Structure 1
Amino acid sequence: MGIKPIKKVNVGQMVFDQMQEQLIRGEWKPGDKLPSENELAEMFNVSRITIRQALQKLSALGMIETRFGEGSFVREADVGENMNALVPMMYLNKNSNFQVFEFREIIDAEAAGLAAERATPEAVEELEKILKDMEKYNKAGNVKMFGQKDLEFHFKVTQMTGNSLLIQTNIILRRILEISMEDVIDKMGCEPAMYYHTKILDAIKKKDHDSAMQLMRDHIRNNRKYYD
């Protein structure tokens, strides 16, 4: 049996990711006071230094603010302050979920059209592999991995445009899109995504700009109806 490399676990990153998710999901709401460093250290079973580093990162992203002598508080969302804060400052609620769908309808639909025009055989092959992985996880009932591959499909379509601004925007928004995708799959299941992704891939393979764009738009609108 060959030796398998040992995966390093970044405890600080794991703490930060969980705290960020709490904020994005609205478990800690704007204006709420966070537990103290000691309380958080006990909750996560880590050192106060690790907690302090996570809090500093959240503060740098504009998600929380620390008031001397009072503690750390969740900031009100204000995406206008700077572009880099766009993801963390968008806390998920019904209204912001609709904003995510509006964003995706605009970006993903146009990206699908461009992808159909610019698709290479290699890129199409990668999309086909992602779709096969989605089908595999769907049959296995692994909803979490299905959701990850679903988002990967959308990101790959955007990459196929070759437009660095579109690609970078998805990278900036990745965390909020991941959490939104998990929520969508939980509500609607996997079959609608399989249906639309298969149709979209077929349109891209045929280099049918209009069909790819319309199918992607229909796909996003279908997702949105589960929130009406």
Structure 2
Amino acid sequence: MTGVAPSHYIALVRRVTKAEETLDPSRDNHRHRPVSRGRDSLQTIARVPRSQLVRDQLQKAIDSGDFGPGEALPSERELVEAFQVSRVSVREAIRSLEAIGYVEVHQGRGSFVTKGPNDGYVSAFARWLALHKEEVMDLLKVRGALDELAAEGAAQGADESAIKRIQGAHDAFFSLAQEPDAKLDRLVQLDIAFHQAIAEASGSSLLMHLLQDLNQHLGESRKITLAPSGRPAKSAAEHTAIVQAINGRRPAEAKQAVATHLAAVRTSVSDFEAMKSAVAVPPADPVH
């Protein structure tokens, strides 16, 4: 088995065996839903692409720890044999996993697991975001405007003790953001603490309370913006630019640094929504 631990391959095959009833070609890959009662209690038949079934099984294998971060998945040929599906189905499944950040594909080397400890939040947020996308984007725009005013005010009039609190909050977030296995909930807490320290330093109690209220509604959006690999470090760098401008008493620069940071946050949410939509309904496979 090239690049794959035998125990992992056995675990995958066992998982496939459990799914054989679902994948059995004689059942035509259908899932059934009851319609109603009486003569209408027939079953509607929804076709589920084999690529989606393969993707789901691989995703479960990764989530359960059968394949850890940095480990190779079985080769395309091995997956074809294990699942008894076409190469097209396997390739579509791998592309879907790559799109949602579970694997990286290296040409000529194979597919490697990239899913980290924070990625379990993604699927839950996908369902939540589907219902609240417009509300989230509107709230982020409002938050951006308020955060800009707060940073501008802090740069203009914060006293030294307030500046130290901002620096301390920044240092705490920056340090944790460099850890590859940082807990997402803790990152979110420290991110909120950083921005709240700036709001408090602005000298406006109204700004401080408005941002406190907004933070109660934007916890989920912070999770998805900080969950992708490398994003916490990017946020920390953006925070650094904000802190430097405030420390230097440059209000316009502080305001612009916040605008740049919040634009990146909004882009993260939009990119996630586009990615989710792209993989929500995989294309149907040819019959093999």
- Shorter-normalised TM range: 0.5 to 0.7
C-alpha spacing 1:217/1:103, structure 2 compared with 1 (3 Å): same
Give 1:212's match in structure 2, choosing from 235, 254, 274. 254
Query: What one-letter code is carried by the residue in structure 2 that aligns with 1:166?
Result: L
Q: Report the 3-state secondary structure (helix = DSSP H, G, I; strand = E; otherwise coil) of the residue aligned with 2:191.
A: helix
- Cα distance between partner residues in 2 of 1:104 and 1:180: 12
Displacement of 1:169: 1.2
Displacement of 1:121: 1.2
C-alpha spacing 1:174/1:224, structure 2 compared with 1 (3 Å): closer
- Cα distance between partner residues in 1 of 2:243 and 2:234: 14
Matching residue of 1:226: 268
Give 2:154's match in structure 1, choosing from 109, 112, 115. 115
Matching residue of 2:132: 93
> RMSD over aligned Cα, in angstroms?
2.0
- Cα distance between partner residues in 2 of 1:92 and 1:152: 27
Matching residue of 1:201: 243
Query: Contact 2:155 / 2:247 at 8 angstroms: preserved in 1?
Result: yes
Query: Contact 2:169 / 2:197 at 8 angstroms: preserved in 1?
Result: no
The 5 Å alignment of 1:67-86 reads none
Cα displacement string for residues 46-80 of structure 1 (whole angstroms, at most 9, x for unaligned residues): xxxxxxxxxxxxxxxxxxxxxxxxxxxxxxxxxxx
Q: State the aligned residue count.
A: 139
Q: Percent identity?
A: 22
TM-score, normalised by the number of residues in structure 1? 0.56
Structure 1 range deviating more: 208-217 or 128-137: 128-137
Cα displacement string for residues 11-55 of structure 1 (whole angstroms, at most 9, x for unaligned residues): xxxxxxxxxxxxxxxxxxxxxxxxxxxxxxxxxxxxxxxxxxxxx
Higher CA-based Rg: 2
Matching residue of 2:191: 150
Give 1:166's match in structure 2, choosing from 207, 211, 217. 207
Structure 1 range deviating more: 113-122 or 179-188: 179-188
- Cα distance between partner residues in 1 of 2:261 and 2:253: 12
Displacement of 1:92: 6.2
Q: Report the 3-state secondary structure (helix = DSSP H, G, I; strand = E; otherwise coil) of the residue aligned with 2:218.
A: helix
TM-score, normalised by the number of residues in structure 2? 0.45
Query: What one-letter code is carried by the residue in structure 1 that aligns with 2:214?
Result: L
Query: What one-letter code is carried by the residue in structure 1 that aligns with 2:250?
Result: D
Q: Report the 3-state secondary structure (helix = DSSP H, G, I; strand = E; otherwise coil) of the residue aligned with 2:227.
A: helix
Matching residue of 1:186: 227
Q: Report the 3-state secondary structure (helix = DSSP H, G, I; strand = E; otherwise coil) of the residue aligned with 2:249.
A: coil
Displacement of 1:157: 0.7
- Cα distance between partner residues in 1 of 2:239 and 2:131: 25
Displacement of 1:111: 1.1
Query: Contact 1:119 / 1:205 at 8 angstroms: preserved in 2?
Result: no
Cα displacement string for residues 87-119 of structure 1 (whole angstroms, at most 9, x for unaligned residues): xxxx96221221122011111011111110012
Query: Contact 1:115 / 1:204 at 8 angstroms: preserved in 2?
Result: yes
Give 2:145's match in structure 1, choosing from 100, 103, 106. 106
Query: Contact 1:109 / 1:213 at 8 angstroms: preserved in 2?
Result: yes
Displacement of 1:210: 0.3
